[in-house]
Amino acid sequence: MSLNPTVDSLLATADAGIDADRARLAEGFARVRARTLALAEPLSPEDQCVQSMPDASPTKWHLAHTSWFFETVVLMPHQPGYEAFEPRWQTLFNSYYESLGPRHPRPQRGLLTRPLLASVHRYRAHVEAAVDHLVARCDDATWAAVQPLVELGVQHEEQHQELILTDILHALSCNPLLPAYEASEPPAASGAAGTPPLHWITGPAGPVRVGHTGEGFAFDNESPRHTVWLQPYRIADRLVTCGEYAEFIADGGYRRASLWLSDGWAAVQSQQWHAPLYWIAPDDPRAALPQWQVYGLHGVKPLDPHAPVTQLSFYEAAAFAEWAGARLPTEAEWEAAYALPGLRQMTGHAWQWTRSAYDPYPGFRPWAGTVAEYNGKFMVGQMVLRGSSLATPPGHARSSYRNFFPPAARWQFSGLRLARDGAC
Amino acid sequence: MSLNPTVDSLLATADAGIDADRARLAEGFARVRARTLALAEPLSPEDQCVQSMPDASPTKWHLAHTSWFFETVVLMPHQPGYEAFEPRWQTLFNSYYESLGPRHPRPQRGLLTRPLLASVHRYRAHVEAAVDHLVARCDDATWAAVQPLVELGVQHEEQHQELILTDILHALSCNPLLPAYEASEPPAASGAAGTPPLHWITGPAGPVRVGHTGEGFAFDNESPRHTVWLQPYRIADRLVTCGEYAEFIADGGYRRASLWLSDGWAAVQSQQWHAPLYWIAPDDPRAALPQWQVYGLHGVKPLDPHAPVTQLSFYEAAAFAEWAGARLPTEAEWEAAYALPGLRQMTGHAWQWTRSAYDPYPGFRPWAGTVAEYNGKFMVGQMVLRGSSLATPPGHARSSYRNFFPPAARWQFSGLRLARDGAC
Amino acid sequence: MSLNPTVDSLLATADAGIDADRARLAEGFARVRARTLALAEPLSPEDQCVQSMPDASPTKWHLAHTSWFFETVVLMPHQPGYEAFEPRWQTLFNSYYESLGPRHPRPQRGLLTRPLLASVHRYRAHVEAAVDHLVARCDDATWAAVQPLVELGVQHEEQHQELILTDILHALSCNPLLPAYEASEPPAASGAAGTPPLHWITGPAGPVRVGHTGEGFAFDNESPRHTVWLQPYRIADRLVTCGEYAEFIADGGYRRASLWLSDGWAAVQSQQWHAPLYWIAPDDPRAALPQWQVYGLHGVKPLDPHAPVTQLSFYEAAAFAEWAGARLPTEAEWEAAYALPGLRQMTGHAWQWTRSAYDPYPGFRPWAGTVAEYNGKFMVGQMVLRGSSLATPPGHARSSYRNFFPPAARWQFSGLRLARDGAC
Amino acid sequence: MSLNPTVDSLLATADAGIDADRARLAEGFARVRARTLALAEPLSPEDQCVQSMPDASPTKWHLAHTSWFFETVVLMPHQPGYEAFEPRWQTLFNSYYESLGPRHPRPQRGLLTRPLLASVHRYRAHVEAAVDHLVARCDDATWAAVQPLVELGVQHEEQHQELILTDILHALSCNPLLPAYEASEPPAASGAAGTPPLHWITGPAGPVRVGHTGEGFAFDNESPRHTVWLQPYRIADRLVTCGEYAEFIADGGYRRASLWLSDGWAAVQSQQWHAPLYWIAPDDPRAALPQWQVYGLHGVKPLDPHAPVTQLSFYEAAAFAEWAGARLPTEAEWEAAYALPGLRQMTGHAWQWTRSAYDPYPGFRPWAGTVAEYNGKFMVGQMVLRGSSLATPPGHARSSYRNFFPPAARWQFSGLRLARDGAC
């Protein structure tokens, strides 16, 4: 069954050999838009409206903002006669684009009980129809301009799909009832085989090439491809597990200042951290059982010692590595090792904190136009994460992908992989 | 048509002459419970979940808390075998009763997307059935204990009915779209006759009696009735109007430190006050018209110069009075003048800030038992308001009623009436 | 030995019968100015510059501000040709007079390392010479205007003398070395006789007159004298002692919410109060001895169970009274009982928190002119204290004196006296 | 004239050929200790006690802390029988060494009016005598351990010498009187020749070696020396001047979001930045003249358009570079270009913000022992500055020196040098 009639007709046309590119893009667009709605499906209107901290946004806001993006970046500049679905929403659903006018303050997104969810659904449908129409009918010159912008909008929406999950999980975690996002039980992630022993794999030393190769989509921050010089190093073949992290805790990890960066130790004390964000200690009044439990998308479960640890800040990842007599890999080391045989869990399990601050690549230039603010202006005060997580849309990330968060951020599916100086 | 079958049968029984008191209470209970739901009716589930500041609570929380009150104060101590509808909600919906166990933090009430609204509706129905049953069936000794507690619960719920309106109005006012709570136009409040000239009315001097007379329900803070000695004074026959307040603004009221109490002036500067909370200045980007407008339950309307000014802090009320060459009445002056001929707008328009801090009456003792925390523990740092507002349930207030809020509070329907030293 | 030559010559003239009033005022002025310097004498320049919290001011600032007051209120309006000692100091040393131009921000007074202390001493001498000259030489019409202002300046400086002690004590208390303001041992305050049993004394009921009688100096907030109506009450003949307060602590006083006003309980928890401000618990790492100790002007001493407890907030005083089955007196009760036989420790030991918010007296009008801001604008959000403390200059206070502080203030020598409803 | 008798005797011994190393170190120690006192000389005791923000420390604290460092790192572990001058000062003057016990809270260093300045001077003398004795008399094994620690103490004290100047300048800048640290006029820094035109100089591309070569002293964060790969770039031959920065301001630099990093723009708005920290705008009420002026160690001076701009945050440096069509150099680019002919103002004028976050070098290991916390634990959230400033002690810095501050820090003598992609 096809996703919508416009795509149907486009695909039909494509069959006639006219424009397979347009058809592919339209299909990808339809697929990602439908997936976004599907992610919101288990949530009530209240769930979709709530905002639990300034860094996280309501689901409904994500639904609207991803539509605002197509409207503002694609439709208004390129579809003659297009009018904003509702002009006042231009302000409400702008995230951080200074060049695109005023914005509703980020910490107050949760106060937007109106527009109602149903109205946002209409907004989505309206934008989708207009994008479909533009993709199907625009002339070739317009297509040349529009095609990369629609592709960017699709990638952008995939980024927000991950945020929908991490943001709602944070909101639900603030509720003492600890409700599950999805009640159904997932297939066991770690299997009965337990945690395999960690193996070290030697990475390439000397000059290596990193950055986007130029094939397929990439964000501006992955370019230009360039040479870096690596000292000899080795990298762990798998992620750090919850079981290993529990040993760190049991060994006083959160009480030994010598393991921590200064800012990290300050956070431990002022925020009273004593475990990853969603871990529930055996003596927590919310814990039904006298053992470590972990809250997640499927509710509260007993800690799985074989599963990768997640919901860590950079500070915690770095402290664990220090405790383990190792360190975090740099982002170049991670990327250079990406395709080596034996490396596992590089994507799809947990974002992996690296020991690299989020600096621009040599020769980096932001995109031109309204999307110039996409990545470059955030290149200070953040750390790079590599890989992708169980919440990342399949196919979204790649070996050159640079995710980034402030070092104290804990509400993502962020974990770590160890590294060490010197070859094996 | 009757409100519910239990009340039906009780009234039928009452006809038979058995217990008219029980029937009256059951009917009042049913009426106030239904009215609460009716107030929430215009609101979406999102609207009912949102919390816009720590001082305001979500509608859904009010719906649940007023049920929690009956469950905790009436049912659990007095209905043998009663079990909490959901034990974990005991914590979620406790407002401030330290003696009743831990509480969900007040600033995080808006994060409670669960329980869902429908579940809270079921909670209400469950509690109502149990209260109905208890009222109808308990023995006389139990009735003696239960009767005042149910009456208190009814009065308590009426207080929350006013808060439902003022709290949701604040939440909606934070939305740049300025949605109306109720779209329908109310009948004009002020009439075509304009603002009548203000007349001064001389109040009684020397010893007067104030406080609750003992007839009918009253809160503990209205007792004991006692003598105070009043110096000669006069009091305005009507409230200060929006038109008069606009003159104060136009005369630089918010820019002249000499008119303000020190804390008030600090608030003017740090909060950048320049008009009552919901006034929209002619140059406000949200104003469709180049004139003063006022946001309220029915949305944005042009300022009505004849309507009583509301949404004032105590500081603003006191500064206006200073500017007008007058002062605020004390709460004893207000109460002593209550029944004088010629006084208008004493109730039903706006709560009236008095020049009295909220101190205990001589000989005051809090109620015994779980409701000891009802009023007494708030008797510091607040100012008394008298009268009642357009948001107060009809029949709720009385001449001895003491409302109270911190002097900086602005989100209530709070205005002022002038007074002066000396008889006319 | 006389205080200065001007006073000498004035007194000589006075002997000739010309103007004993001027001589008396000049002598009082000289005495209070000298006493201020004497209070600063034990302190180093650093001590005199430091500010430990926004509510407290540096000693040097007090030295300069009390001179600024005479310069601004007396000299500039009334001494023809007088020029400010240093025009830029008009801003630096203005405390809170909005009508007198801009002010240096209060929380930043401690940053004023310049002017140097020696320059402030020159400022004082300059102002003193000019005031002496004005008092001695002005014509009678000027004298009529100047006399009450100089008298006010003297009283104002006495108020700051108390603040010099309480503010520096707070600053020194923040130093882990806990240095003494004065090393020398004071005579034992309580004597060997121990704590006498508390006696209740019945106060007058019905109409009583309170407020300043009109004889001698008083601040504007003590007027007009007026009638209040008191219900029967009794009042303790002495202050609550440290020993009694230690029992309250030992009985869980700081852990029982039911004893506290709501705001007080919030302060206990957020500020982690567990004893009066300067008490040092037996397990405090700064305590040399395993027993309660108290830090004060003479350093750390073992707790004296017979001494009046001080450094209490209103919240703590009210909680203690609740625990003791009593209450705080109102300010009218305190004043009406002032001269009753048997009452002890009414002045000179500790300011006594009353159960009265700091509201204006009926008919209150602030002074005219620049000193209009002296008291009236603070009449909200504060509680009244009566009596005087060991840090109050002798002769400064009187039975109608109204001191006031916010209910959370703890750095004054503030304690309590109990009261109860009903005659003995 | 020699610095002290111990050094005299040591040098005499050295002449005899025994231990020139010890003599050199003792002389360097004496010189740096004397210079620290000389820097404090123009300041009053109040000046030396004040703390204007948590990031800055009082002069007196610097005087004591640099002595504490020698006492704790050198004397207590290596001088048998040495006892702390005053054990309680171990806590007061510990800066951030978690392994060395508790610390007085950094934001409260300004409250330490005691110990008095004279006592700190005695502390310094006591420590100096003990270090002199140890250096002169210890056995060779002890000398091997002590020598690098004394050298580190000397370098550490030089770092604090710069902070003494930048911290006191900040404190004095908070005083509306804007007092000068030193009244005497310095020789004109820029000369009559004006600003020379900027020339670009091509740096080395491909693999280059950076980091400490191993000759002479270096901090741990400069090692290990290692290879990095540079893309072609050019670097400006001189620093950006005040005149150029004034053009940036005049061109709306502080009002154009597109020039700024996101965090920088947030700082511009929330902190209301509109010029470098100590610039005084023509309309500033503190400005005596209707032109830009700059506050500095010698008081307020008219802006010198030829002088290097200083007191910039990283955000401002990056925004200026963006405005100028250039960028900041990376720290590796800066170091690789260091010795190129034609480069001027590399040291001695202003620290130069680089586009490099303060990450550890590959293979970095902190020092062992108590000084392990010296640098490594700060390697997150900060940006690297290279060069040195007019406040840096002569001879202190070197080409591999890595200074670091948070990106919002503005109170240092921090400016910038431009760079661009591609060779000339």
Mean per-residue pLDDT, D65-88: 96
pLDDT reported for residue A17 = 46
Query: Which positions in chain C touch D116 (Cβ < 8 Å)?
Result: 44, 46
C159 Cα distance to chain centroid: 5
Interface residue ranges in chain D relative to chain C, Cβ cutoff 8 Å: 44-50, 52, 60, 88, 91-92, 104, 108, 110-117, 171-172, 174-177, 179
Q: What is the pLDDT of residue C60?
A: 98
Which chain C residue has its CA at the smallest distance from B224's CA? C231
pLDDT of the residue at A18 = 47
Interchain proximity A44–B110, CB inside 8 Å: no
**Residue of chain A whose Cα is closest to the Cα of B50:** A111
pLDDT per position as a tens digit, C184-242 = 766 555 555 688 999 999 999 999 999 999 999 999 999 999 999 999 999 999 999 99
Asked whether residue C280 carries a pLDDT value surpassing 80, the answer given is: yes
Provide mean pLDDT across the span B296-311.
97
Per-residue pLDDT for B204 more than 70?
yes
Of C379, C394, C389, the C-alpha closest to C413 is C389
Is the pLDDT score of B1 beyond 60? no
| C118 chain-D contacts, CB cut-off 8 A | none
Report residue A90 as tokens.
Answer: 């231009």
Candidates C116, C108, C121, C89; CA nearest to C51 is C108
A396 closest CA partner among A133, A35, A52: A35
Q: Domain limits of chain D? A: 5-173, 200-421
Interface of D with A (CB under 8 A): 96, 98-99, 207, 226-231, 233, 257-258, 260-265, 314-315, 318, 330, 355-360, 362-363, 372-373, 377-381, 383, 407, 421
Count of helix runs (H) and strand runs (E) in chain B: 12, 12
What per-residue confidence (pLDDT) applies to A65?
Answer: 97
A201-205, B193-197, C155-159, D133-137: segment of lowest average pLDDT? B193-197
pLDDT for C3 equals 42
Please determine, for residue C178, whether its predicted confidence score (pLDDT) is greater than 80.
yes
**A345-375 per-position pLDDT tens digit:** 999 999 999 999 999 999 999 998 888 899 9
Confidence of residue D321 (pLDDT cuts 50, 70, 90): very high
pTM of the model as a whole: 0.94
User: Which residue is closest to B175 within chain A, CA to CA?
Assistant: A112
Q: How far is B261 from chain C (nearest CA, A)?
A: 4
Select from D48, D50, D114 the Cβ nearest to the Cβ of C175.
D114
Secondary structure in 3-state letters for B223-283:
CCCEEEEECCEEEECCCCEHHHHHHHHHCCHHHCHHHCCHHHHHHHHHCCCCCCCCEECCC
What integer is the mean pLDDT of D254-271? Answer: 97
Report d(CA D222, CA A75) in Å as an integer: 52
A272–chain B nearest CA distance, Å: 18
Average pLDDT over residues B399-408: 98
- Which element (helix H / strand E) includes D332? helix D331-337
What is the C-alpha separation between D219 and D378, in angstroms, rounded? 13
pLDDT in tens, C338-355: 999 999 999 999 999 999
Contact C45 D48 (CB under 8 A): no
Q: Is the pLDDT of residue D4 over 70?
A: no
The distance of A359 to chain D (nearest Cα, Å) reads 7
The answer to whether A50 contacts B175, with C-beta atoms less than 8 Å apart, is: no
Per-residue pLDDT tens digits for D154-176: 999 999 999 999 999 999 999 99
Q: How far is CA A195 from CA A186, A187, C86, D253, in A?
A: 19, 17, 77, 55
Chain C partners within 8 Å of B265 (Cβ): 98, 377
pLDDT in tens, B252-262: 999 999 999 99
Could you tell me which chains touch chain A, where touching means 3 or more CB pairs under 8 A?
B, D
The neighbours of chain D, by the rule of 3 or more Cβ pairs under 8 Å, are: A, C
Residues of A in contact with D407 (CB under 8 A): 380-381
CB C397 within 8 A of CB C217: no
Question: Do residues A298 and D414 lie in contact, with contact meaning Cβ atoms separated by under 8 Å?
Answer: no
Rounded to an integer, the average pLDDT of C98-105 is 87
pLDDT of the residue at D193: 63
Indicate the pLDDT class of residue B14, thresholds 50, 70 and 90.
very low
* Chain A residues closer than 8 Å to D207 by CB: 207, 229
Please report where in the chains the tokens 């409260």 appear, as a residue: D108
Over residues B408-422, the pLDDT tens digits come to: 999 999 999 999 999
Residue D298 in this model has a pLDDT that exceeds 90: yes
Check residue A13 and give its pLDDT.
Answer: 52
- CATH pick for A200-421 out of 3.90.1580.10, 1.20.120.1200, 3.20.20.60, 3.40.140.10: 3.90.1580.10
Please say if the pLDDT value at position B248 is more than 80.
yes
Residue with tokens 């969900």: B104
Question: Which residue of A207, A355, A358 is in closest CB contact with D360?
Answer: A355
Regions of chain A short of the pLDDT cut 50: 1-5, 7, 14-18
With beta carbons less than 8 A apart as the criterion, state whether D230 and D423 touch: no
With beta carbons under 8 A apart, name residues in chain D contacting C116. Answer: 44, 46
Q: What is the pLDDT, as a whole number, of residue B183?
A: 82
* The two structure tokens encoding residue C394: 């002798």
pLDDT of residue A2: 38
Which amino acid does the sequence have at A327? Answer: R
pLDDT at residue number A287: 77
Average per-residue pLDDT for chain D: 93
pLDDT given for residue C101 in this prediction:
82
Whether the CB-CB separation of C404 and C383 falls below 8 Å is answered with yes
Q: Do D355 and A360 touch (CB under 8 A)?
A: yes
> DSSP E strands: which ranges in D304-413?
351-357, 383-386, 403-405
Residue D288, pLDDT score: 77
Task: Assess whether pLDDT exceeds 80 at residue C17.
Answer: no
Enter the DSSP assignment of A408.
Answer: T
- D151 — alpha (psi -120 to 50), left (phi > 0) or beta? alpha
User: pLDDT grade, residue D8 (50/70/90)?
Assistant: low
Residue type, D285: P
A to B CB pairs, distance under 8 Å: 82
What tens digit of pLDDT does each residue of D402-413 get?
Answer: 999 999 999 999
Strand partners, C403: C385
Rounded to a whole number, what is the distance in angstroms from the first to the last CA of chain B? 53
Mean local confidence (pLDDT), C269-275:
97
| pLDDT tens digits along B378-402 | 999 999 999 999 999 999 999 999 9
Residues of chain B contacting residue C370, judged by C-beta atoms under 8 Å apart: none
CA distance C46 to chain D (A): 5
Compute the average pLDDT of residues D195-213. 96
Neighboring chains of C (3 or more beta-carbon pairs < 8 A): B, D
Nearest by CB to residue D363, choosing from A231, A261, A372, is A231
Show which residues on chain B lie within 8 Å of chain C, measured between beta carbons.
96, 98-99, 207, 226-231, 233, 257-258, 260-265, 314-315, 318, 330, 355-360, 362-363, 372, 377-381, 383, 407, 421
| pLDDT on residue A407 | 98
pLDDT band, very low/low/confident/very high, at C419 (cuts 50, 70, 90): very high
Q: Which of A230, A359, A383 sits opposite D355 (nearest CB)?
A: A359
Amino acid at A204: P
As a dihedral over the C-alpha atoms of residue B349, residue B353, residue B356, residue B357, rounded to 10 degrees, the angle is 110
Determine the Cα–Cα distance for residues D164 and B177; give it in Å rounded to an integer. 53
From B52, B113, B175, residue closest to A50, measured CB to CB: B113
Which of B129-138, C329-338, D183-192, D263-272 comes out lowest in average pLDDT? D183-192
Q: For residues C307-330, give the mean pLDDT.
A: 98
Q: Answer yes or no: do C44 and D171 touch at CB < 8 A.
A: no
Q: What is the pLDDT averaged over residues B238-265?
A: 97
Burial class for C136, CB neighbours closer than 10 Å (0-12, 13-18, 19+): middle
Give me the half-sphere count of Cα atoms (radius 13 Å) on the Cβ side of residue A316: 31
What is the three-state SS of D157-215? Answer: HHHHHHHHHHHHHHHHHCCCCCCCCCCCCCCCCCCCCCCCCCCEEECCCEEEEECCCCC
D406 token code pair? 């948070």
CA distance C59 to chain B (A): 24
- Nearest-CA distance from A172 to chain B in Å? 8
CB contact under 8 A, A104 and B171: no
What ipTM, to 2 d.p.? 0.94
Residue of A nearest to B171 (CA): A111
pLDDT given at position C115 = 97
The pLDDT of residue B2 is 38
User: How far apart (Å, rounded) are the C-alpha atoms in residues D134 and D22?
Assistant: 10
Which residues are registered as beta bridge partners of C230?
C206
In angstroms, the CA A330 to CA B343 distance is 78
Identify all chain B residues contacting C314, using CB atoms and an 8 Å cutoff: 380
Return d(Cα A115, Cα B140) in angstroms, integer.
Answer: 53
| CB contact (8 A) between residue A114 and residue B179 | yes
D115–C177 CB contact, under 8 Å: yes
Question: Residue A119: exposed, middle, or buried by beta-carbon count in 10 A (0-12, 13-18, 19+)?
Answer: middle
- In chain C, which residues have their Cβ closer than 8 Å to the Cβ of D49? 46, 49-50, 113
Beta carbons of D276 and D285 less than 8 angstroms apart: no
Region D40-67: mean pLDDT is: 97
Instruction: Please report which helix (H) or strand (E) contains residue B317, including its range.
Output: helix B314-323
C-alpha to C-alpha distance for D66 and A281, rounded to whole angstroms: 43
D42, pLDDT greater than 80: yes
Residue partners of D149: CB distance under 8 A and separation at least 6: D73, D74, D78, D371
Q: Which residues of chain B have a CB within 8 Å of the CB of C358?
A: 357
Q: Which residue has the higher pLDDT, C4 or D345?
A: D345
**pLDDT, tens only, B103-115:** 899 999 999 999 9
Question: Do B and D share at least 3 CB pairs under 8 Å?
Answer: no
* Neighbouring residues of D337: CB distance < 8 A, sequence distance ≥ 6: D201, D203, D204, D235, D329, D343
